[in-house]
Structure 1
Amino acid sequence: MIHNDIHQALRERVLTLDGAMGTMLQTDRAEAGCIDLLCLSSPATIEDIHLQYLQAGADIITTDTFNANALSLARYGASHLVDDICREAVAAARRAIRRIGRQAWIAGDVGPTGKSLSMTSDDTDVDFDTLRAAYLEQIDALARAGADLILLETIFDTLNAKAAISALLEVRESTGLELPLMVSATLTESGRLLSGQTLEAFIVSISHARPMSVGLNCGFGAEQAIEFLPQLQHATCAVSLHPNAGLPDAMGCYTSTPSDMTAALRRPLADGMLNIVGGCCGTTPAHIRAIAAEAAAARPRNIPNCDPAAPLRLAGLEALTVAPDRLTPVGERCNVAGSRKFLRLIKEGNLNEAIAIAAAQTDAGARIIDINMDDALLDAAREMQRFVRLASAEPDVARVPFMIDSSQWEVVESTLKLVQGKPVVNSISLKEGEEEMIRRARHISSMGAAMVVMAFDERGQADTFERKTEVCARAYRLLTDAGIAPSDIIFDPNILAVATGIEHHARYGLDFIRAARWIRQNLPGAGVSGGLSNLSFSFRGNNFVREAIHAIFLANAAGSSGMNMAIVNPSTLIDTATIPEPLAEAITDTLLCRRADADERLIAVAASTDAPGRKASPATQPEAPDTVSTPCSRLADAVVKGRADALPTLLQEAQAEAGSAFALVEGPLMQGMDRVGHLFGEGRMFLPQVVKSARLMQQAVELLTPAIEAEKAAAPGNAGRRNPRMVIATVRGDVHDIGKNIVAVVMRCNGFDVTDLGVMVEGERIVSEAQRLEADLVGLSGLITPSLAEMAEVARLMQQAGMSTPLLVGGAAASVLHTALRIAPCYSGPTFYTHDAASLPTLAAKLIDPRQADETIS
């Protein structure tokens, strides 16, 4: 009943969410460490904070469980306390509600953890299953403790959110509880999540959870956050906003007053753009009191009803609407079964060139990329995972959704755990029975994907109009009854080869065209797709005829005729007007079965047809001349792009030009990384691109290592010279480590041995480990304000220990000014503020180079 109440309340008024638990504990009470543990050690303190927010007007209060998961608690040796913390956290909130004596709801608060599934290196110890298990334990504990809803907040990586949603769906099923879900993302200044997704793509990617609300929190103050509210207005659920009390100033403090925040929120509230409003970092009961008063006078946003006939929406880094009346091309060339070149590249392990094929497909117009690794001599699951990871870091490819194409269910299952957007799975069918199809469909849906349903059943492949429509109608009924959204169902009624000379194949083209139209008219919301290459199989070797067949087929089957997706090489799509009339007529006769001798006539015409007037495709246009003339400059450019099709050859040529392997690393390779740093700083590169460039740098260094070792051995005094070492840590009192993890990946890719001490690290341990390892650099990270004092304390400890190792500090709380005024004076050694991971390798290289260190420090 309480869940129904909140849904009704959201339509009647704007609900107020509470403010920052951390602010109250870490600022007002000067507490440090894991505040979630206070649910056990000081439950009255937590209850009192809830009461203050309720007295200020909060309708929804969030439990003190932001980090109450096994992964986050492990650093405190408290992984076994998840259930206890969640139980006591909900109990404290419930007691506060009883004391206030009015209706309010408890949101079980689930943070993003300090992990990132989309941006961590391949050797990370945390994968989707590990993260999902941690979320499952936490959400189940919150549900059983009596939380009214779940708040999944501060999402910076959609793949993390999908792991949490997968866990939530299981808890809903196992407990029978409705457990409404609030989902809230945090954006970077680019308007995207840290993992690169647009806000629209994020909403699409988590839509399978059918959230009660979607919104934004953290990252910005109210004035900046409301700029993104228009992008939330198309959501078919409530919209929430709980921004910070401004952005941290140079000293890391949040300075936006209650009146500042309400002034910024007044217009979107008055315009009916919100259903839930509250505060994040830096907000206090005073802020919430002011916000609640403003919300009380506002009208809630109208929550639209879900449209069962809504078109399919997919997402890569960007969102894609698959229109029902237009053709959406699906790039086919990343398929080992359909492209000999792609198969060769995968077998050779030449993933750079394989990714280049995918990029060429999107350049040519593919709106989705089909990926298939099914080959008897390949480990399909391994190759699929390797390729998808790399493709996800290639912006030209990752911006579009992926089609995970495999006949091996285990390949589908494992690959779905790697995709942060909303992909398509190709395919499922009835051939193994109803129960198995439904089981697989539900799993695909729970992982946030759409699905291609082949027209197969227990009797085999449907090849006639009657069989195609019979099988598709049956599958549609079963899937929609099982809760699958009609728009997430894409039927493939089997495009089969025409003009084979076999009589009963004569209607294959026409029967598909008729079936596509029937599906669109009789199975509302479902799409229709198919692989075009099968159609013209009879004409292998005559590419122009094959392309002409495809073009005329699409003219009859696609768009308003029914078929709205096609797996095809988009660079070979031609204009039907360029097809000679005799050939066009013969093809049409064959496809529409207009003559008894249609096949023979088409074969005869095709045999004498060349390609006059053929419209050149992008793939056949001459490439622009390479403006990067020297090997070294081409190498630097390859680092920036994160892709080199023939890296060993390029390195060999560049080394000959530079004179040595050392010169190559210090010259063009570092110049490329320096350029990456500038582009990232200017907002012209996303973080996944930076990691991709760093990985190419790593590959280059690995290839150069034999030459580097030889040069070391030959140079006087270089015997036994080691890689530079860096110790990094998130300081005591701070659990944020995403930025630090990215730094570790980038620096390792640039030849550093990185020792990551984790989060909440004592200053004494940082210093002792840096001394023990004879570190060349020490890096400190922190996001919250108390971290700044901890950084200064580490600097003092380094001074007491007589160290002179360069100290690098970074994170959202740090700034150039604070570093200069509060940290640098504590330490006589070099101290630098680092803005981002992309610019760090260049600075680090200069600091460890005796020839450049003095100039850099001065």
Structure 2
Amino acid sequence: VLQCNNYEVIDLGVMVPAEKILQTARLENVDIIGLSGLITPSLDEMVHVAKEMQRQGFTIPLMIGGATTSRAHTAVKIEPHYEGATVYVTDASRGVGVASNLLSAELKDEFVQSTREEYAEVRERHKGREAKTKQHTLDAARQNKFNWGRYEPVKPKFLGTKVIDDISLGVLVEYIDWTPFFQTWEMAGSYPNILKDKVVGEEARTLFDDANRMLKEIVNGQWLTARATIGFFPAASEDDDVILFADETRSQKRETLHHLRQQNMKAPGRPNYCLSDFIAPIDSGKHDYIGAFAVTTGIGIDAKLEEFERDHDDYSAIMLKALADRLAEALAEYMHQVVRKDCWGYAEDEKHDNNQLINEAYQGIRPAPGYPACPDHTEKAKLFELLNATATTGIELTESFAMYPASAVSGWYFSHPESQYFNVGKIDKDQLQDYARRKGIAEEVAARWLAAHLHH
């Protein structure tokens, strides 16, 4: 959009380290730095970039945008770290107006000042909400943990890892959740109702038709390749950790997964969840298991994107990225179903249609490192090591633990019938210190990775 309005844009690509962004900004003498985030690791990386801009003495404006960002996140987490102008851009169409204001000698001062005042109000409201939130101590939260109960764990049909690389893209089409696709294009509404929406219905139908036309080309032309690696491991919980064993003798620890517990005070009878609660305690005498997965539908996407870029076909490039992301999520959903009904087999008689799958009506969960139930991205490195994921799927982890290709999903499988998704929320200093100790890292390092979740 900026290029169409005569702005020169230097596109550094995806997963770019802060140092490269700032080095290029100096060499090219740019007027504005823009950061776009489509996945959660980018939120913390944006904070890091802002801090580095301040440390290195930058004064040029910083524009923030992308699907995972928000005005509140920009105001609370990013702007306070940089004295230069920091502005959240709600969508691409507004980027030109914001850039114009930031570069205008007449308009800039008033625009920046009004933005700062607006963000200060957002921070005050946020501070007020946090002050009202009552927290347990970590010990008290652990006393209010979820009771694992009498569940009899089911042993998976194999232990160790398995690579699946003969997955048909045509099969995955049936598992697509279309609602996030429209959100990518900044259309509010859920599928299929959005197709009949009075405001955006016509535009949504056109977009949906274009998507399905490209989807047929992707499938028939084999533009992309789907790959998956799954694994199952003997496991037991110990407080907030999950211990993985080398084999069924359970005599040798292979890995320890560190998790976080909710600390906010709940209504009576409601537990403070931690993912470790859904694995049999080590002293229970029960032999439990945990699963892991890494899937991608992004293999082959770069060649096609380069073709679109040569043709200056931005629409098709964005469409392909959006569809590849949807297919990756569809592959994760498909593999979870295969695991439940076959590979693990704890729900062999399950019969759910796609809507029920989207609404997670099944037994078990597949939380991903970096998301609300397990917000620490660094734990993803353990998952990748257990699965040998980079060698088997082609997915690589960046320095910020984002996955590349971006059309990828990874996480853990839990089978407990009462396991559920939850948000860890804010943690206090006692849990931060305990977590750093358990992981064997400095408290400052833990604080950086968990910055968005610190209550103190």
Which range, TM-score by smaller chain? 0.3 to 0.5
Q: With a CA cutoff of 8 Å and minimum separation of 6, indicate the structure with the bigger relative contact order.
A: 2
Higher share of residues assigned helix: 1
TM-score, normalised relative to structure 1: 0.20
In terms of Rg, which structure is larger? 1
